[in-house]
Chains A and B, each alone.
Chain A
Amino acid sequence: MSALALETRSLCKNFGALLVANDIHFQLERGARHALIGPNGAGKTSFVNLVTGVLTPSSGAICLGGDEITGLTRAQRVKRGLVRTFQISALFRKLTVLENVTLAIAEREGTANDLLRPAGHHRALIEEAYDLLVPLGLASEALRPVTELAYGRQRMIEIAMALALKPKVLLLDEPAAGVPPRETGAIIETIERLPPDIAVLFIEHDMELVFRVAQRITVLVQGAVLVEGSPAQIAEDPKVRQVYLGESRH
């Protein structure tokens, strides 16, 4: 078995003349806390979309735990433990918090194909969903529709749904984006408390979060890897400074 949780080899993607992924060689260790940073338009979200199968690469390969997954559908990748969250909260907004998480568990367990028995008869799934909400502080709001919750809380549901799928690799696309500063603390804590066996790759503009959580950082510029290293190395790298100088920080 490969020591790598996730790997991309020579990953390329272009939309006509626009190169959004330029020969990306990327490695995510098992249990890693890895940040992907870069200025706006660097291709960070495109990279996540390529890895999760929303976009099809022009060339190159993607491997999950040593197995190539380049040709698999989105759903098949999720079944193999590759799970993502979204940059803009993309929840089932009219449904309750508990239902959002239960839907994810029902997919994981395959009960969502059951059209004979009422959903309520799969009680173990509902219990599991509820128990996931408790440590995230969402249990008291389990029966409220998502849209009634504050934005920071919605970001937590996003993480709860991802965890419900029992991921091996978790891709967090700007988990703190749009969250008011006083609520980011809770999100950072949640990310820090994620089970250590999950390899986490997160895209983030909030440098406080990046430097607090990440063990390694990859800097992406114009679809290509500029540099990769430990937080200390990245903080001192002149190329990185150059990229971020003149860039308004987000």
Chain B
Amino acid sequence: MKKSVYICFLIVPVVIVLCTLILPLVLQIIPTFTRPAIGLGNYIRFFQDDLNRSIFLRSVRLSVITTLLCILVGVPTAYYLSMQSEKRRRLLNSLILFPLLTNAVIRSFAWISILSKQGFLNQLLKLLHLPQGTFLYTDGAIVVGSVYLFLPIMINTLSPIMENIGTETVEAAHSLGARPVRVFFEIILPLSFSGVLIAGVMVFGGAISAYTTPSMLGGNKKMMLSTLLYQQSGTLANWDAASLISVIMLVCSLGVMKLFNSLAKRIDKREAGNV
């Protein structure tokens, strides 16, 4: 077919993505560096504010904790999945996919009903005659909700990578007398390290940009960058601050993602060179 036909095929999506998303995004970003004066003045002022700084630090801290927890739990689970027979693996993989496709509101609602004052957890503590506590609207609630949100992504990204390692290497190690723990730490983990890195960055980026869960489980008490952005733009119409927070969020998610992905590529190349 002619080149012009292909250009016609592409014109609609290119116009939509460029004109309604990329270009407006750039137009929102530029003024944050140029108005009122060229430079990083706006950002310095943003971080000088104690509240803003605490919100930024909370976002980063909670997202890092979420990522580490997802790695800690997700890596062994993905390894376990990769050892199953193909039929069981497929079933388990789609089971794990199910929460991922379920609405984030439902998933956060489930945790509200567990963690709230009259929630399941406190009902259970009451039955056991243990002291009850407040769990909702805390940092911990946001972390639990975020882990719940992104653990399926971690597992689903890792399990095909773990499968690719192949049973031969693992069985060779077993037959040479290596204990499973050693196999895990000396074969599985090094060979899937770049995969863990990529999945980890996906979780981090997702956790720091999620809106629904922090807003439902953290509320106005424990704000994150995403809830701050919506407060500034949706309710206060403070566009300058909103654009500024958008840039910070983009750097934290996209920027970190790009950085770590290139790092993972480099590690892969080095591994390939070693073998």
A binds B: no
